Homo-oligomer: A and B are copies of this chain.
Amino acid sequence: MINSIETSDWREARRRSAHDAIIDAAWSLVSEEGLAGLTLRDLAQRAGISAPTVYAYFDSKNAIYDAMFGGAAMDFAECLAEPLDYDDARAALITRASRFSQFCTDSPTRYQLLFQRTIPGFEPSPESYAPAIRALEGTREQLALNGITEARHVDMWTALITGLVDQQVSNDLGGDRWTRLIDESVDMFLTHCQPARASRKPASRPARPKGAQK
């Protein structure tokens, strides 16, 4: 990608690409067999290497899960960090919720890994977890732009949106039975939480014209 790299970076790049190839194979595998269905043998076969070779890149099976988690968390943060329409705080909030929903329904396996802790002995490392925290911070800022700052309202928001997504993923995969309710749900939420605002579309934006997202 970048011109003029040194010899040691060469090796590093090669190693990194093999590393990534294994993770790609892992995603491909779990998308078919489920998260718990990941085995080193199958993974190695799909990656075109032998099982022990995997250990040249990862210390353990959980290290593979952690790398998957870390990558997914970064994708997640990136997905939500893309610029929004700052002229309409409400529209931006809906967009954000839709992106979250889209991200989750795009890959239920990824959703399961990131948001439902279901793998027996696995806990993500703090490094892998960090981007997810950044994303929540972004949510908080986005809500603040809508005049919502109370902690309990932020909690209501996360419950509302994850509830919709969870129902969608659990009970209507591939459909839109719940995700299509995002608009109305956000309306309901804003009408309830926005303090002294009668109509839905805010006439004046609350402070801060830039820098909401990353």
Q: Which residues of A are in contact with B by a Cβ distance under 8 Å?
A: 34, 36-37, 112, 115-118, 120, 152, 155-156, 158-164, 166-167, 170, 177-178, 181, 184-185, 187-189, 191-193
Chain A interface main SS type: helix
Report, nearest first, the 6 A-B pairs whose CB atoms are least far apart.
A163-B163, A188-B192, A159-B163, A159-B164, A118-B118, A159-B167
B116 adjacent to A118 (CB under 8 Å): yes
A118 and B36 CA atoms in complex are apart in Å by: 9
Q: B residues within 8 A CB of A184?
A: 152, 156, 192
A189 and B192 CA atoms in complex are apart in Å by: 9
Q: Which residue of B lies closest to A33 (CB)?
A: B120
Closest CB-CB distance, A102 to chain B, in whole Å?
16
